[in-house]
């Protein structure tokens, strides 16, 4: 077989159902092979869209997302999408064409050193120089991307390798001496953890994206209920524990709930599961949770004690380890007083916003969206205030229904990610919550949606500003709104010009009807809500402060 055919056969063996990408000179042999190959190919309108769509597909399904582009600019246009997947530990295989092997290093037309460029933002990358290595490399790439702490893997394939011939082989099993993720917890550590849990009086569970990745949501609930510990999730962990549960504290950190932040700071034991103590969560590190001992369950040993010193690390898969812990725990702590204190915080510092007034409130829109979907939809977002309101004002109940750029905070992620998610779970309603700034970053994907009948519902919260930056300027730069007011096209006409549907909403009474119409419409829909321009996200922990040092403009 030719290299290009080997690639496609290998993708099929790896279970790939959909590829997002864009053609060009150095992938012509692959596109020629694709012409009559039985796999769904989605031609995006920008390579960045392809990377984010593969990422959204992966988050919605748990499978590895795949994108394919040409060399040079095609490959460099993937960079943000790869970095985004890397920061959020999303399994992705990115395939790029490369100039012929004899030209590499020559500054050839559309040559870019993409393995060099992506080394710090991939879990691993490969340059395939011999067609005989191709199928095995692809098998390894999928194995690396999807196991351990998942992440993006890039395979760069020179055009002559795509044309060269070799036998197709597919390994039954991948074994790599240098890469063997630990799956089960060390029994000694599990015992120690169970003991510490029994002695705690103010425990909390701090659950991150690893809960979603490992499918630990149901055992996590068992653990929380067994030891009667409140649960706070990170941004990446939303949906890992139902936010309507009595023990739920919602999200912690910079825009977390006040009660999650107070509980974290007061806790005497933090059970961290698949979370990495990033700065948006910890705030000022030397003030973080001063009285807490920490049990840290994580599949990636390099994240243990990286930011916060840990008493009991347990390396392995979160679902396995929680299962092991559940078996080991005999005595459970008495947390009744602690839960009472938490309830008081919840009563004293609920999430709130000022309703009334003429202008639309974004929080109200999200409450209506929740009422209409009851947590069953997939909620994707762009980045900014609208993203934070979507964390706070929509109840996240199920894993893989929250798709948002956490670590990198990439404006322009949500729309293509929603497209990928909808292809992965077509039976679900998929929404993208967008600011008027972010949506303009990958708006070209409207054409991809319409051409492929991918019906995503984009709710644009139009405040006329790059709102989150404006909020910081308001609070910390004396309201000097330097280049944050932003104009937009007529989103309704724009959607219509692409063959999609556009709706504009200015009044509260229209909100519910508009969302209902969007859900019923068998097409991509842009719903533009003209919202209060200077609404802020509260509470907020100013950068560099301890997380119980919150400001709340409504207090
Ligand atoms: C690609 C990219 N560029 C810049 C930023 C910095 N940034 C963070 S939030 C934000 C404003 C987002 O504005 P908008 O999309 O209108 O959403 P809003 O905050 O108003 O809800 C900006 C510019 C970013 N996160 N990503």
Instruction: List the residue whose alpha carbon is closest to atom 8 of ligand 1.
Output: 384
How far apart are alpha carbons 306 and 278 in whole angstroms?
10
Residue range 282-336, pLDDT digits in tens: 999 999 999 999 999 999 999 999 999 999 999 999 999 999 999 999 999 999 9
| Other beta carbons within 10 Å of 225 | 13
| CA 133 to ligand 1 center in whole angstroms | 42
In the chain, % of residues over pLDDT 90: 99
pLDDT in tens, 166-187: 999 999 999 999 999 999 999 9
Ligand 1 centroid, distance to 182 Cα (angstroms): 38
Residue 433's pLDDT is what? 99
Percent of the chain with pLDDT over 70: 100
Confidence of residue 375 (pLDDT cuts 50, 70, 90): very high
Q: What is the pLDDT of residues 2-53, one digit of tens each?
A: 999 999 999 999 999 999 999 999 999 999 999 999 999 999 999 999 999 9
Q: What is the pLDDT of residue 336?
A: 98
Nearest CA to ligand 1 atom 4: 411
Query: Measured in angstroms, how far is the CA atom of residue 402 from the centroid of ligand 1?
Result: 19
The best mutation among 52, 434, 437 to test binding of ligand 1, ranked by most ligand atoms within 8 Å of the C-beta, falls on 437
Q: List pLDDT tens digits, range 191-225.
A: 999 999 999 999 999 999 999 999 999 999 999 99
CA 92 / ligand 1 centre spacing (Å): 25
What's the token pair of residue 400?
């893989």
How much is the pTM?
0.98
Å from CA of 385 to ligand 1 middle: 8
251 closest CA partner among 243, 402, 498: 243
Mean pLDDT of the chain: 98
SS (H, E, C) 102-128: HHCCCCCCCCCCHHHHHHHHCCEEEEC
Ligand 1, atom nearest to 389 Cα = 21
Q: What is the pLDDT of residue 61?
A: 98
State residue 536 phi and psi, 5-degree precision: -115, 165
Q: Give the C-alpha separation, 470 to 464, whole Å.
A: 10
Question: How many whole angstroms from 341 Cα to the centroid of ligand 1?
Answer: 37
> What is the reported pLDDT for 555?
77
Res. 357 pLDDT band, cuts 50 70 90:
confident
Structure confidence at residue 365 as a pLDDT band (50, 70, 90): very high
Give 391 Cα–ligand 1 centroid separation in angstroms: 16
CA 408 to ligand 1: nearest atom? 25
pLDDT at 180: 96
Pocket test for ligand 1, best of 411, 473, 485, 533 (most atoms within 8 A of CB): 411
Distance 488 CA to ligand 1 centre (A): 14
Ligand 1 atom closest to the CA of 486, numbered from 1: 16
The predicted model gives 380-392 an average pLDDT of 98
Cα of 533 vs centre of ligand 1, distance in Å, is 15
Residue 525 pLDDT greater than 90, yes or no: yes
**Which pLDDT score, from 0 to 100, does residue 467 have?**
98
Cα(84) to centroid of ligand 1, in Å? 15
Among residues 255, 219, 259, 213, the alpha carbon closest in space to that of 236 is found at 213
Q: How confident is the model at residue 192, as a pLDDT?
A: 98
Which atom belonging to ligand 1 lies closest to the Cα atom of 387? 21
Nearest residue CA, atom 3 of ligand 1?
Answer: 411
Residue to mutate, 384, 391, 392, 414, ligand 1, most ligand atoms under 8 Å from C-beta: 384
pLDDT of residue 262: 98
Both tokens assigned to 8: 């496609």
- pLDDT at 356 (0 to 100): 85
Ligand 1 atom nearest to CA at 467: 20
Residues 236, 88: contact at Cβ < 8 Å?
Answer: yes
CA-closest residue to ligand 1 atom 1: 411
What are 96-135's pLDDT values in tens digits?
A: 999 999 999 999 999 999 999 999 999 999 999 999 999 9
Buried b (16+ CB within 10 A) or exposed e, 502-522: bbbbeebebbbebbeebbeee
Three-state SS sequence of 159-215: HHHHHCECCCCCCCCCCCCCCCCCCCCCHHHHHHHHHHHHHCCCEEEEECHHHHHHC
Per residue in 410-467, pLDDT (tens digit) is 999 999 999 999 999 999 999 999 999 999 999 999 999 999 999 999 999 999 999 9
Residues framing ligand 1 (Cβ under 6 A): 382-386, 409-412, 435-438, 461, 463, 465-469
């Amino acid at each position: 077989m030719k290299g290009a055919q080997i690639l496609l056969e290998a993708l099929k063996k790896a279970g790939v159902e959909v590829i997002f990408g864009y053609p060009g000179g150095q992938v012509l042999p692959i596109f020629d092979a694709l012409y009559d190959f039985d796999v769904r190919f989605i031609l995006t309108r920008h390579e960045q869209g392809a990377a984010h769509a593969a990422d959204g597909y992966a988050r919605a399904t748990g499978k590895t997302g795949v994108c394919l582009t040409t060399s040079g600019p095609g490959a460099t246009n993937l960079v943000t999408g790869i970095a985004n997947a890397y920061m959020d530990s999303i399994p992705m295989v990115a395939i790029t064409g490369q100039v012929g092997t004899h030209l590499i290093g020559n500054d050839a037309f559309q040559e870019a050193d993409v393995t060099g460029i992506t080394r710090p933002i991939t879990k691993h990358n490969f340059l395939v120089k011999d067609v005989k290595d191709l199928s095995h490399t692809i098998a390894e790439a999928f194995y690396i991307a999807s196991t351990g702490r998942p992440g993006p893997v890039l395979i760069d394939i020179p055009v002559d390798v795509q044309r060269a011939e070799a036998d197709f082989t597919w390994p039954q099993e991948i074994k790599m001496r240098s890469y063997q993720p630990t799956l089960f917890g060390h029994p000694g550590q599990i015992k120690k953890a169970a003991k510490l849990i029994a002695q705690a009086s103010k425990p909390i569970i701090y659950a991150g994206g690893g809960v979603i990745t490992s499918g630990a949501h149901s055992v996590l609930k068992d653990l929380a209920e067994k030891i009667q510990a409140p649960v706070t999730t990170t941004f990446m962990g939303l949906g890992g524990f139902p936010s309507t549960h009595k023990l739920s504290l919602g999200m912690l950190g910079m825009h977390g709930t006040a009660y999650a932040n107070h509980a974290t700071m007061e806790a005497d034991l933090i059970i961290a599961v698949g979370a990495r103590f990033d700065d948006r969560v910890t705030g000022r590190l030397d003030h973080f949770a001063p009285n807490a001992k920490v049990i840290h369950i994580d599949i990636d040993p390099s994240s243990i004690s990286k930011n916060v010193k840990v008493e009991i690390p347990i390396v392995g898969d979160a679902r396995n380890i929680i299962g092991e812990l559940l078996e080991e725990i005999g005595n459970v702590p008495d947390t009744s007083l602690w839960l009472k204190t938490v309830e008081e915080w919840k009563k004293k510092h609920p999430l709130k916003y000022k309703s009334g007034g003429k202008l639309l409130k974004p929080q109200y829109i999200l409450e209506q969206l929740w009422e209409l979907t009851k947590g069953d939809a997939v909620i994707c977002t762009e980045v900014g205030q609208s993203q934070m309101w979507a964390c706070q004002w929509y109840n996240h109940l199920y894993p893989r229904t929250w798709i948002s750029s956490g670590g990198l905070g990439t404006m322009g992620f949500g729309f293509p990610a929603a497209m990928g998610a909808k292809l992965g779970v077509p039976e679900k309603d998929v929404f993208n919550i967008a600011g008027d700034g972010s949506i303009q970053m990958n708006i070209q994907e409207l054409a991809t949606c319409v051409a492929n009948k991918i019906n995503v519902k984009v709710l644009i919260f139009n405040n006329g500003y790059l709102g989150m930056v404006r909020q910081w300027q308001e609070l910390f730069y004396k309201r000097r709104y330097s280049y944050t007011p932003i104009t937009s096209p007529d989103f309704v006409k724009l959607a219509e010009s692409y063959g999609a549907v556009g709706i504009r909403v200015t009044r509260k009474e229209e909100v519910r009807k508009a969302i209902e119409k969007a859900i019923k419409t068998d097409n991509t829909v842009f719903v533009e809500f003209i919202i209060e321009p200077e609404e802020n996200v509260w509470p907020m922990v100013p950068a560099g402060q301890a997380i119980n040092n919150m400001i709340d403009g409504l207090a």
